[in-house]
Amino acid sequence: MRWSALKKRLVLLFDPGLDVDIHLTGLEKAKSQGAFTHLGLLRIRVDGAVVWDFPHQFKASLADHPGVTLATLMGVLHAYLDLPKNELLTSTVPNDPFDLRLALACMDRRIGKKKLLALAGRPDTPEFVRRILTLRFS
């Protein structure tokens, strides 16, 4: 599925009270020995604030996950669309070490406020989840 079609399907799932923008840019840069390196970014803004930013936000842990590329993240987006509503917060998505699924679930209109606030109260919840939920419920 092309990025524009995927983005449209995702945006339909988000809380209409949020101004969500998902931006994906992919570039290929030639290396000196003829091989290509895939560069790019996937950025999510909520009400103008950047809440999830690959690769910038995850530079410290990129070395631990060398196989994560934009293609991998596109696979996570596709997998999220295929998840049943009752599994959005509980199931895992393959090749999602940076919890993109969780960021999307926090903006998803199908998940109730009570479940999301319970998630925000857990000590192991990533900071970006708290930022998204603050923007969503403030």
Phi, psi of 58 (to 5 degrees): -120, 20
Structure tokens at 14: 């988000």
Q: To which residue do tokens 């950025």 refer?
A: 43
**pLDDT tens, 60-89?**
888 898 888 888 899 999 999 999 999 999
Q: What is the pLDDT of residues 81-112, one digit of tens each?
A: 999 999 999 998 999 999 999 999 999 999 99
CA distance 107 to 36: 35
Task: Indicate the pTM of the whole model.
Answer: 0.88
Number of domains in the chain: 1
Domain that holds residue 25: 3-137
